[in-house]
Every structure is written in structure tokens, then in C-alpha cells.
């Protein structure tokens, strides 16, 4: 019989024992070596994985009910999947040839995989000047989330002296959102994040006006100091107490971009999680908008938005931060680390050259 095509390593997960509450741990994942089928069928391609993504929404896929109809739960003892970029090794699909760079939202956590062509999208490496991992971040879903979230829900007006606050400001979405806020005309962009190193990076490297370390500093006091004219736009990645503090200082008729609520993802609460009575009152009395935003509902605008992001990055007006770890064996660690703030910029796992 033929020799195996590839020795393969897949990330295999098991569910929490504690149900929907609790932080994920690397032990929720296990590695397995498998052998891929030796022959491709019609319509199939063999891909080699270059980079994989870990993202907060994956925490919802670890629950039996993800709470969102566009997200399926990961299955116990099946290979997990998420955003990935790779290169076609061999193809029996007319749309793809060996050497093509492709992406998918449902890339298996494997070093190599047999995939159906219809699950893949070909991308142009020139869009990212060869930085292929950007397709998972700044020129991918998190960049789109920042740009389209701001454009659809932010109502930034040039010349109106708007102040923007971003929570989760040093993360994948937040780090891009703050830079777009500045480019779109905010006079002040204040970031809230979880370490002094992150604060330094978003101010010195990305051009945020001020950064607040929510672990060490009093957020309401620092917000008062750094937003003397109140807050007009809030890009919310985290929810919880940080968002309560921001909302308390928002102006009449201001806008929240409800991007995510990561501070609540390890808890058994619906999405979006319920607000405190006081915050709810603040929203109503000050006529603050807070509409749910899901980037997947705006994919008809993705191509134009990706071009805009690509041009900004190529021209140096947007800087991209990434935290890269090597090796498929570190997927579980990287996911859990990102959920606890171990990343600056997009958390990426490099699988092969």
C-alpha cells in the first residue's frame, strides 16, 4: 500500500467539566498524530497551514450552546477549527493551484489538511506586503471589525472634536480601532488596557492620546483627566465594570460600538450580558446608542474595507502589532493566554514557514 501522505498533528479538545462557567485551560486541548488519506477526491485540496488564529469567540464554541446561530460548538474529541491561512500543496479543485495562498474561517487546527475548495478563499499576498498572518488580523476579521464597527455604529464626525475611548485597546480589534478613530477625525483617542507595557505600546507606537492601565489605575479618575470634554464614541471590547465607568462619562447623544464583552465570556450569561440598572439609566437619560454589532452581517462591504485597511498599513498610517508563538502544540496555551491578556495586538500561532 502507499505510504501515508503526511504525518499530521491536530488539536483535539474536550469540554469543560464545570460547564459554561470558568476560564479555559490548556488541558482542555490535546494533540494527536493522524495520517491523512493518501489520495485527494475531486474538489479537494491538500493545504499546508502557515498561521492559525485564536479568538475570544472560541470560548463560546466550548459551550454546548454557543449562544449564536452562526457559531457551532466544538465537538469533544473532534479536531477544532477557526481562522487560518495556508498554502495549497496539491489540488484537485479547478479554482486552486499549488502555491496559492488561501484562508478559511473553518481551518482545522492541523499542520496539513485535506479541505474542500468551497471552504477556502484565495487571497493576494500583495495586499499584506507578504505578511500573511495579517489576513487573520489587521487585513482580516479583526481589522474589518474595527473599521466596519466604527463606520456603521460610531458616527464619528470630522471637525466635531470627538473624543473616543477604546477598551481592550491593545488587542487585535482595539489596537486598530483606536488608530482608525484618529484617522477618521477624533481629536482624542483614549485606550484602556491591562498592563503598563500595553499602555506604552498604544501611546508610543500607535498614537493613542492616553492609555489607562485598568489593573493599576482608577478608571473613572483617569477618564475624567484624559477626557475633559466627555466621551462621544466608545468602542467596547470588554463590558463589565470598565464599560460602566466609561458609559458614566459619555456625552448626550453619544454612541457605543458594541463590539464584544470579553470580561463576561467565562460566565453563564446571555450575549449581550445584562447591564446594571444604573448604566441602563445612563443610556436612556443621555440618549446613548448601543446597538449590537456583528461583523459577519456586513461582509458585502468587506472587500472595499480590506483595501482601505491594506492601503493604510502599506502607507504606515496604521501600525500592526502581533504576538506570535510557534508550533501547533502551543495552540491551547496561546488561546488561554489571549483570554487572560497575554497578547499585545493580534495573537497568532505560526505553524510552518
Q: How far is CA 314 from each of CA 14, 97, 107, 320, rounded to the nearest angstrom?
A: 41, 27, 27, 10
Is there binding between residue 55 and ligand NDP (CB under 6 A)?
yes
Q: Which of 93, 238, 246, 256 binds ligand NDP (CB under 6 A)?
A: 238
In the complex, least distance from residue 228 CB atom to ligand NDP, rounded to whole angstroms: 24
- Of the ranges 24-32, 52-60, 79-87, 103-111, which one interacts with ligand NDP (CB under 6 A)? 52-60
Separation between Cα atoms, residue 57 and residue 64, nearest integer Å: 14
174 lies in the site for ligand NDP, by CB under 6 A:
yes
Interactions with ligand NDP, residue window 278-307 (CB under 6 A): 293-295
* The only residue of 24, 82, 140, 171 in contact with ligand NDP, by rule CB under 6 A: 171
Strands (DSSP E) contained in 110-237 are 112-116, 121-122, 163-167, 188-193, 210-213, 231-236
Q: Which residues contact 13 (CB under 8 A, 6 or more apart)?
A: 28, 29, 30, 62, 74, 76, 77, 78, 80, 332
For residues 328 and 292, is the Cβ–Cβ distance under 8 A?
Answer: no
DSSP letter string over 186-202? -SEEEEEES-HHHHHII
Query: Should residue 210 be labelled a site residue for ligand NDP when binding is judged by CB under 6 A?
Result: no
Residues 115-154 that bind ligand NDP (CB under 6 A): 141-142, 145
Considering only 111, 179, 237, 279, the residue that binds ligand NDP (CB under 6 A) is: 237
Contact 248, 219 (CB under 8 A): no
Q: Judged by CB under 6 A, which stretch of 7-15, 88-96, 168-176, 271-279 contacts ligand NDP?
A: 168-176
Instruction: Retrieve residue 182's grid coordinates.
Output: 484618529
Q: Which helix (H) or strand (E) holds 335?
A: helix 331-339
Rg, C-alpha atoms of the chain: 21
Q: Judged by CB under 6 A, which stretch of 7-15, 225-233, 259-267, 281-289 contacts ligand NDP? A: 259-267
For ligand NDP, the closer of residues 44 and 81 by Cβ is: 81
Of positions 107, 194, 226, 245, contacts ligand NDP by CB under 6 A: 194
Residues that bind ligand NDP (CB under 6 A): 55-57, 141-142, 145, 168, 170-174, 193-195, 198, 237-238, 242, 259-263, 293-295, 338, 341, 343, 347
Amino acid at each position: 500500500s502507499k505510504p501515508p501522505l503526511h504525518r499530521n498533528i491536530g488539536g483535539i479538545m474536550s469540554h469543560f467539566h464545570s460547564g459554561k462557567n470558568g476560564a479555559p485551560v490548556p488541558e482542555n486541548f490535546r494533540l494527536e498524530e493522524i495520517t491523512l488519506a493518501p489520495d485527494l477526491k475531486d474538489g479537494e485540496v491538500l493545504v499546508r497551514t502557515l498561521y492559525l488564529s485564536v479568538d475570544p469567540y472560541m470560548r463560546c464554541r466550548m459551550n454546548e450552546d454557543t449562544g449564536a446561530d452562526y457559531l457551532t460548538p466544538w465537538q469533544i474529541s473532534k479536531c477544532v477549527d477557526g481562522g487560518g491561512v495556508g498554502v495549497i500543496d496539491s489540488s484537485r479543485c479547478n479554482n486552486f493551484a499549488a502555491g496559492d495562498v488561501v484562508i478559511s474561517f473553518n481551518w482545522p487546527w492541523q499542520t496539513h489538511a485535506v479541505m474542500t475548495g468551497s471552504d477556502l478563499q484565495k487571497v493576494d499576498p500583495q495586499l499584506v506586503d507578504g505578511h500573511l498572518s495579517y489576513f487573520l488580523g489587521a487585513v482580516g476579521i479583526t481589522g474589518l471589525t474595527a473599521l466596519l464597527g466604527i463606520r456603521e455604529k460610531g458616527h464619528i464626525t470630522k471637525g466635531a472634536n470627538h473624543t473616543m475611548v477604546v477598551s481592550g485597546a491593545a488587542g487585535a480589534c482595539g489596537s486598530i480601532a483606536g488608530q482608525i478613530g484618529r484617522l477618521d477625525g477624533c481629536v482624542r483617542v483614549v485606550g484602556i488596557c491591562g498592563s503598563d507595557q500595553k499602555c506604552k505600546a498604544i501611546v508610543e507606537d500607535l498614537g493613542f492620546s492616553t492609555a489607562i492601565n485598568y489593573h493599576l489605575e482608577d478608571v473613572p479618575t483617569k477618564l475624567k483627566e484624559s477626557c475633559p470634554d466627555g466621551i462621544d464614541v466608545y468602542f467596547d471590547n470588554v463590558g463589565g465594570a470598565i464599560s460602566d465607568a466609561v458609559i458614566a462619562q459619555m456625552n448626550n447623544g453619544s454612541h457605543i460600538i458594541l463590539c464584544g464583552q470579553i470580561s463576561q465570556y467565562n460566565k453563564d450569561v446571555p450575549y449581550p450580558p445584562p447591564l446594571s440598572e444604573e448604566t441602563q439609566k445612563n443610556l436612556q437619560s443621555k440618549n446613548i446608542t448601543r446597538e449590537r454589532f456583528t461583523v459577519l452581517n456586513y461582509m458585502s462591504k468587506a472587500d472595499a474595507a480590506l483595501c482601505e485597511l491594506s492601503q493604510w498599513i502599506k502607507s504606515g498610517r496604521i501600525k500592526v502589532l502581533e504576538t506570535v508563538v510557534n508550533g501547533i502544540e502551543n495552540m491551547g496555551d496561546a488561546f488561554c493566554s489571549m483570554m487572560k491578556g497575554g497578547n499585545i495586538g493580534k495573537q497568532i500561532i505560526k505553524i510552518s514557514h
